[in-house]
Amino acid sequence: MALPMDWVWGLVGGLMIGAAAGIYLLVNGRIMGASGIIGGLADGTAGPTGREKLAFLLGLVAVPPLLVPLYSSVSTHVTGNPVVLIVAGLLVGMGTRLANGCTSGHGVCGISRFAPRGIVSTLIYLAAGAVTMAVARHVLGVI
């Protein structure tokens, strides 16, 4: 049975993400966590790691748009509701800094190291996400 193409591209993209995390760890000796990289730059706690964080951020922001012409259409399908965007952004920003990690740091890098904190954090944010989705979409109908 052929896998749906979305799943195949998910796997290919996932392997690219894993390879990126591997390079950042093996060459730079750093854990690839998106919230730590942007957060450290935003609040000035990056210290001597600021330059490589900035280089990482430059690659992350500037290079993916170069792939867009390869697709017939690419959309983030992001909501147009400014209240949802602001509340969600604040929660993601505060939450990832409090928890000291997000999908990349706790998820990809933590799970693969079998780190208890990473595994627990991932289970909690997945559960919180599923509950929030159920309530916000199916009970309140706001997203």
Q: Should residue 46 be labelled a site residue for other proteins when binding is judged by CB under 8 A?
A: no
Q: Should residue 52 be labelled a site residue for other proteins when binding is judged by CB under 8 A?
A: yes
Binding test (CB under 8 A) with other proteins, winner from 46, 69, 104, 141: 104
Minimum Å gap between C-beta 2 and other proteins is: 14
Binding test (CB under 8 A) with other proteins, winner from 1, 69, 72, 103: 103
Secondary structure string (H, E, C) spanning the chain? CCCCHHHHHHHHHHHHHHHHHHHHHHCCCCCCCHHHHHHHHHCCCCHHHHHHHHHHHHHHHHCHHHHHHHCCCCCCCCCCCHHHHHHHHHHHHHHHHHHCCCHHHHHHHHHHCCCHHHHHHHHHHHHHHHHHHHHHHHHCCCC
Minimum Å gap between C-beta 93 and other proteins is: 2
Q: Should residue 25 be labelled a site residue for other proteins when binding is judged by CB under 8 A?
A: yes
Q: Should residue 84 be labelled a site residue for other proteins when binding is judged by CB under 8 A?
A: yes
